[in-house]
Chains A and B, each alone.
Chain A
């Protein structure tokens, strides 16, 4: 009997090691709140150790959390800065869109106020890189009925003339190009002259020739197209007189003017694709015209309306 038990001691030992905790569990499970003395003793010994370990881990955890927080705050700061930049960019883009919208509305107004002139809106897509030319390329061409010789306007006034047109593009020679020459009239006195572009130097300036010394021309006069020869529709604002000099020993004035359109930054334009109505001056939206021109128009209107 004992020999048999001795042979099976491993099995019996294993069984005992299973049964004992099961019995203990069975006894404890009925009252989970009760702790046997052995449990209490072990816990009494181990709990300070556990508390110390917990404190150590908590301290390490706190240090780590602080480190993570600092890193998180830094990352958040960077992210906020990026967001601010993104917002700023969006605001800039929106401001640009608002301006563009205004310009397009003006161009639309031009078209509405001049029903006889058929216009196509276009966007400047490139600027000549050659110093010999002052041209811009627009995104409308033959498919939009844009052809050589057509007038190009912006919300402020005359931009230039289509020099050549492709399938979906057109090159526009600007009024500041030195090859450009057109007949103009001074808005206040209706004195006529010939405007020439001066290229890149002096930047953005144009010259008006063929004006007699006796003609009444002052600084600040607005120059517009005369409509002579039918190249440009009449009445398109072109430039503002900035300098008036008498040619020494001559009978003419040397006049410098600044184009009303900022030719360096022109972006949206309108191309007059229909025939020019030379008999009717072009009507430009009043609110965007230079004050001087608005005043001259008002006075001329009131004169016409008078008895």
Chain B
């Protein structure tokens, strides 16, 4: 529990930083997706999904849109990521990078779908198209550093509190 709260606080800080960095024209980062990728690899299903929910919620707050969109999309992305990772026995920076990009696309895809079915349906891929390559690129670049940061927090706070499915 403590480790999950620590991850959430760290995510909150990273999201705040992301919001500030987005003032720079052309720079797009999806830190929440990278955190979800970390959760996919390092957390059991329920704990991970709950943490993903809070992470998504924080993203909702930062986005300025209706609450719940990114929260739901994050949980969905986490679960799909877990299913995908359960089939693959690999680790390391490469799988972290792949998972980071996958989480980014899944989150965006699920958010679009939720908006289309449950919301006003005003979001379109076309509108966010210019940002997508940058998001993918920054996800690849930042996936490993974010993973290392969160893993470091986990290490500081100790293991054994939760059951790790993949370990």
Chain A interface residues (CB < 8 Å from chain B): 9-10, 13-14, 17-18, 20-29, 32, 35-36, 39, 42-43, 46, 49-50, 53-54, 57-58
The 7 sampled A-B contact pairs (Cβ below 8 Å) are: A14-B46, A17-B52, A21-B56, A24-B68, A29-B68, A49-B13, A57-B20
Q: Are A50 and B16 in contact (CB under 8 A)?
A: yes
Q: Are A17 and B75 in contact (CB under 8 A)?
A: yes
Q: Are B46 and A10 in contact (CB under 8 A)?
A: yes
A-B contacts besides A14-B45, A14-B46, 9 pairs, CB < 8 Å = A13-B49, A21-B53, A22-B114, A27-B68, A39-B61, A46-B58, A50-B16, A53-B13, A54-B19
Over the window 105-120 of chain B, the binary record of Cβ atoms lying under 8 Å from chain A Cβ atoms (1 yes, 0 no) is: 0000000001000111
Chain B interface residues (CB < 8 Å from chain A): 12-13, 16-17, 19-21, 45-46, 49-50, 52-53, 56-58, 61, 65-69, 71-72, 75-76, 79, 114, 118-120
A49 to B114, CA, bound (A): 30
A125 to B94, CA, bound (A): 66
Q: Are B19 and A21 in contact (CB under 8 A)?
A: no
A54 to B118, CA, bound (A): 33
- Using CB atoms, name the residue of chain B closest to A35: B67
Q: Are A22 and B67 in contact (CB under 8 A)?
A: no
Q: Is the interface of A mostly helix, strand, loop or mixed?
A: helix
Q: Are B71 and A49 in contact (CB under 8 A)?
A: no
Q: Note all chain A residues with C-beta closer than 8 A to B118.
A: 22, 25-26, 29
Q: Note all chain A residues with C-beta closer than 8 A to B13.
A: 49, 53
B17: contacting residue among A21, A25, A53, CB under 8 A: A53
Q: Note all chain B residues with C-beta closer than 8 A to A23.
A: 68
Q: Are A24 and B75 in contact (CB under 8 A)?
A: no
Best-buried of A24, A25, A28 by chain B (most CB within 10 Å) = A25
Q: Are B71 and A24 in contact (CB under 8 A)?
A: yes
Given contacts A13-B49, A58-B20, contact A42 B56 (CB under 8 A): no
A29 to B79, CA, bound (A): 24
Q: Are A25 and B69 in contact (CB under 8 A)?
A: yes
- Using CB atoms, name the residue of chain B closest to A38: B67
A27 to B71, CA, bound (A): 14
A36 to B76, CA, bound (A): 23
A53 to B10, CA, bound (A): 13
Q: Note all chain A residues with C-beta closer than 8 A to B58.
A: 42, 46
Given contacts A39-B61, A49-B16, contact A14 B120 (CB under 8 A): no
Given contacts A21-B57, A25-B119, A29-B120, contact A36 B75 (CB under 8 A): no
Q: Note all chain A residues with C-beta closer than 8 A to B114.
A: 22, 25
- Using CB atoms, name the residue of chain B closest to A39: B67
Given contacts A14-B75, A18-B72, contact A28 B16 (CB under 8 A): no
B67: contacting residue among A9, A13, A24, A46, CB under 8 A: A24
B45: contacting residue among A10, A35, A53, CB under 8 A: A10
- Using CB atoms, name the residue of chain A closest to B68: A25
Question: How far, in Å, is A4 (CB) from chain B's closest CB?
Answer: 18
Q: Are A46 and B61 in contact (CB under 8 A)?
A: yes
The 10 closest A-B pairs by CB, nearest first: A25-B68, A21-B71, A28-B66, A24-B68, A21-B72, A29-B119, A57-B20, A21-B68, A50-B16, A17-B49
A228 to B20, CA, bound (A): 95
A18: contacting residue among B12, B46, B75, CB under 8 A: B75
Question: How far, in Å, is A24 (CB) from chain B's closest CB?
Answer: 4
Question: How far, in Å, is A120 (CB) from chain B's closest CB?
Answer: 64
Given contacts A29-B119, A29-B120, contact A22 B16 (CB under 8 A): no
Q: Note all chain B residues with C-beta closer than 8 A to A21.
A: 53, 56-57, 67-69, 71-72, 75
Q: Note all chain B residues with C-beta closer than 8 A to A9.
A: 46
A26 to B72, CA, bound (A): 11
Q: Are B61 and A42 in contact (CB under 8 A)?
A: yes
Question: How far, in Å, is B91 (CB) from chain A's closest CB?
Answer: 23
Given contacts A14-B45, A29-B66, A49-B16, contact A22 B72 (CB under 8 A): yes
Given contacts A17-B75, A46-B16, A50-B19, contact A22 B46 (CB under 8 A): no
Q: Note all chain B residues with C-beta closer than 8 A to A53.
A: 13, 16-17, 20
Q: Note all chain A residues with C-beta closer than 8 A to B49.
A: 13-14, 17
- Using CB atoms, name the residue of chain B closest to A43: B61
Q: Are A28 and B19 in contact (CB under 8 A)?
A: no
Q: Note all chain A residues with C-beta closer than 8 A to B61.
A: 39, 42-43, 46
